[in-house]
Amino acid sequence: MLLVVLPMGGIFVRSFQNGLAGFLEDVLQPAALASLILTIKVAFGAAVINGVMGLLAAYILVRFTFPGKSFLNALVDLPFAIPTSVSGLMLLAVYGTGSPIGRVLEGFGLSIAYEFPGIVLALLLVTFPFTIRAVQPVLETMDRSLEEVAFTLGATRWQAFWRVTFPSLIPSVLTGVTLTYARALAEFGSVVVVAGNIPLKTQVAAVYVYGEMESYNARGATSVSFVLLIVSLIILLVLNYLSGIRSREGKSRPNQEVKVESSAIPGKETRSEGVS
């Protein structure tokens, strides 16, 4: 606890050493405010996109069998294993100005290096595993008989997924999205390599904090850090709440009666299946 509580207390004291007015002055500096807004925006975008992509990837890895599946499953964790600055270099090698794909994108007026899309792409890469690893174990332990009942009622695979499988996955998807958002808020290495450190344009909060420390403005750095800390604490509370939901659902699932509906065949009656 001392490793966590004492540094948090230090950030709080340093941020408010000149009172609330001094804290607000630091946070409302144009560059500081712009970096916070940009960070919140790109983190939200990465969380939403990876929420959808991660859900689909987890479903494919669990429900389908194909050559190279084990390799792809192991590859999902690669962003955890490599330095984030290397992730940024990988993206520049593929999507940078001098690359073939980069030249094609520039032909459509889209640039990755030192632009907003580059930040989002960097965050997508480093946060890609979170939703997949949050959803995958839930899918693996889910009772597939409910989907089979939906198929017998005439439902398509999409209808079975949307009406039967997805509702049970919502807490785990939200957990993955929340973890993605929290990780994206703190990202530094890949963003500074791909998008640089351009104030009021591509400077995210973590890079701003580093720049302020390099400029010997510790109070300005700690004030922005305190805002990020508060956002992270809120995310932690949300995660704990979602974990509680998953725990309660896990305890109630053995005696749960699930209603499976299908609109694919007119006149089919709603049918209930007990899960044991």
Under 8 Å between Cβ of 204 and 38: yes
Q: What is the DSSP letter of 268?
A: P
Per-residue pLDDT, 83: 93
pTM of the model: 0.81
Per-residue pLDDT, 236: 82
Per-residue pLDDT tens, the chain, 276 aa: give them: 677 788 888 888 888 988 999 999 999 999 999 999 999 999 999 999 999 999 999 999 998 889 999 999 999 999 999 999 999 999 999 998 888 998 898 888 888 888 899 999 999 999 999 999 999 999 998 888 888 888 888 888 888 888 888 888 998 999 999 999 999 999 999 999 998 888 899 999 999 999 999 999 988 999 999 999 999 888 888 888 877 776 666 565 544 444 544 444 444 444 444 444
Candidates 1.10.357.10, 3.90.550.10, 1.10.3720.10, 1.10.1060.10; correct CATH number of 21-248?
A: 1.10.3720.10
Under 8 Å between Cβ of 182 and 235: yes
Q: Which residue do the tokens 């065949």 mark?
A: 265
Indicate if the alpha-carbon torsion angle 166, 176, 89, 204 is positive or negative. Answer: positive
Question: Domain residue spans in the chain?
Answer: 21-248
Per-residue pLDDT, 253: 53
Per-residue pLDDT, 263: 47
Helix (H) or strand (E) run with residue 271 in it: strand 271-274
CA nearest neighbour of 137 among 67, 76, 84? 76
